[in-house]
Amino acid sequence: MARISETRALEAVERALELAPIIDGHNDWAWETRLTRGGTVEGLEGPLAGDTDVLRLRRGRVGGQFWSVFVEDESRGSDHVAQTLEQIDWVHRVAEAYPEDFLLARSAADVETARATGRVASFLGAEGAHSLDDSPAVLRMLAALGVRYLTLTHNRNSAWADSATDERRHGGLSERGREMVRELNRLGVLVDLSHVSPETMHAALDITDSPVIFSHSSCRALTDHPRNVPDDVLVRLAGNGGVIMIAFVPQFVDHEYRHWFDGDRLDAPPVVPMSRVADHIEHARETAGVRHIGLGGDFDGTDEFPEGLSGVDCYPDLLAELARRGWSAADLAALAGGNVLRVLRATDARFAGARTPTALPR
């Protein structure tokens, strides 16, 4: 597409944000605050040293955020459950401490309520099935507390799913893993396929009856990183109805940076322009379709970001880069939040339904 003028690009961004809010799939502010501020909810207005604060969320026109309630996966056991609950508690406390800025959200309708009152709809996403200690009962209780997605692994394999960055153990999903995907579907908790191996991606797509998401991944065809999504998976999103939310992580979007990151890092890191992220978004649109793309920046989840994407205030700048490439307001709105809203609406009724136990043990 031919590039358009700056004035027309900014007009397209404004029209897009009238049609749909920006909803990001993954932000690690809870974990960053746990590490650097002892889990306090005081003094979050900003400016803060990290990637996220209240001031920059407003500048970035963020209307919805999936806050990752991540905990490390070095070990196994019930400690992970307690730590995940502490992360959930932090998000709840933030919403209580800043009632004019945040609204705890469980549904697409809550996004509209938050938007009408000028707040950020705050969803919960659990990153890694180690958070469950392999217990469907814990999964049901996390859903009851508002967790809207579960990433099937983190960097290590979970008890029943293979990670993209670990040795093959389950052939994608074990039988227990397939049962857990069905339980996620039943509960209306979104299956998040970021961090999992391609074999796991395909296995989950084979059995899920609901749209899946990739909360923070990019495209393997452009950057050959194990955390990225191959094209043969992307093309399946159209049939599934799911969404890939493109991450801004430099080693995911730029080959030279990935080579530096995996090396000795003695030299200064290469500069990664914002255009690399835009390239991944465009590739995902071309491969999966415009109804299957979104934004999953992974702010506060890595140390560096591309030039021009230094924090949560930068989303409109990325939309403007795409608008300059000729993207319509409607397509920008789909990317910004319209597509993930569709996925939420498709699963909201189940999420709001009964959480009675199934035959799954524990």
Q: What is the mean pLDDT of residues 101-111?
A: 98
Render pLDDT for 288-345 as a digit per residue (tens, 0 to 9). 999 999 999 999 999 999 999 999 999 999 999 999 999 999 999 999 999 999 999 9
Terminal-residue alpha carbon distance, the chain: 54
Please report, to the nearest 10 degrees, the dihedral formed by the alpha carbons of residues 82, 83, 88, 92 taken in order: 90
Enclosing H/E stretch for 217: strand 213-217
Which is the catalytic residue, given 80, 154, 170, 292? 154
Q: What is the pLDDT of residue 357?
A: 62
Please check the confidence at residue 361 and state whether its pLDDT lies above 80. Answer: no
CB-CB neighbours of 303 under 10 Å: 10
φ, ψ of residue 36 to 5 degrees: the values are: -105, -20
Q: What is the mean pLDDT of residues 200-210?
A: 98
Which amino acid is located at 15 in the chain?
R
Q: What is the pLDDT of residue 73?
A: 87
Q: What is the mean pLDDT of residues 205-219?
A: 98
Q: What is the pLDDT of residue 358?
A: 62
SS3 216: strand
Q: 65, 73 in Cβ contact below 8 A?
A: no
Burial class (CB in 10 A: 0-12, 13-18, 19+), 264: exposed
The two three-digit tokens of residue 287, written as one number: 């491969």
Please check the confidence at residue 218 and state whether its pLDDT lies above 60. Answer: yes
Q: Which of 277, 208, 195 is nearest to 236 (CA)?
A: 208
φ, ψ of residue 268 to 5 degrees: the values are: -65, 145
Q: 256, 270 in Cβ contact below 8 A?
A: yes
Active site residue 292: no
Q: Kindly list the distances between the CA atom of residue 125 and the CA atoms of 66, 304, 330, 338, in Å, as whole numbers in the listed order.
A: 6, 22, 27, 19
Flag the least confident range among 44-53, 282-291, 349-358.
Answer: 349-358
Q: 1, 325 in Cβ contact below 8 A?
A: yes
Q: What is the pLDDT of residue 359?
A: 53
Residue with tokens 């070095």: 74
Distance, CA of 218 to CA of 190 (rounded, Å): 19
Active site residue 80: no
Q: What is the mean pLDDT of residues 220-224?
A: 98
Q: What is the mean pLDDT of residues 9-30?
A: 97
Distance, CA of 162 to CA of 328 (rounded, Å): 38
Which is the catalytic residue, given 101, 192, 298, 313? 298
Please check the confidence at residue 356 and state whether its pLDDT lies above 80. Answer: no
Please check the confidence at residue 354 and state whether its pLDDT lies above 90. Answer: no
Q: What is the pLDDT of residue 2?
A: 65
Reported as a pLDDT band with limits 50, 70 and 90, residue 283 is very high
Which is the catalytic residue, given 80, 130, 170, 195? 195
Q: Which of 288, 302, 213 is nearest to 257 (CA)?
A: 302
Distance, CA of 336 to CA of 149 (rounded, Å): 19
Please check the confidence at residue 1 and state whether its pLDDT lies above 80. Answer: no
Distance, CA of 273 to CA of 188 (rounded, Å): 37
Reported as a pLDDT band with limits 50, 70 and 90, residue 78 is confident
Q: What percent of the chain has pLDDT over 70?
A: 96
Which is the catalytic residue, given 80, 170, 216, 292? 216
Active site residue 195: yes
Distance, CA of 278 to CA of 274 (rounded, Å): 7
User: What is this structure's pTM?
Assistant: 0.95
Q: Which of 23, 106, 5 is nearest to 326 (CA)?
A: 5
Reported as a pLDDT band with limits 50, 70 and 90, residue 3 is confident
* Mean pLDDT (the chain, rounded): 96
Active site residue 28: yes
Q: What angle do CA 272, 274, 280 make, to 5 degrees?
A: 95
Render pLDDT for 146-184 as a digit per residue (tens, 0 to 9). 999 999 999 999 999 999 999 999 999 999 999 999 999
Active site residue 130: no
Distance, CA of 161 to CA of 277 (rounded, Å): 28
Q: What angle do CA 205, 209, 214 make, to 5 degrees?
A: 45
Q: Which residue has the higher pLDDT, 154 or 73?
A: 154
Please check the confidence at residue 8 and state whether its pLDDT lies above 90. Answer: yes
Q: What is the pLDDT of residue 130?
A: 95
Which is the catalytic residue, given 51, 73, 110, 127? 127
For the chain, state the CA radius of gyration.
19
The two three-digit tokens of residue 337, written as one number: 């939040």
Which is the catalytic residue, given 24, 26, 101, 282? 26
> Is the bond leading into 47 cis (omega within 30 degrees of zero)?
yes
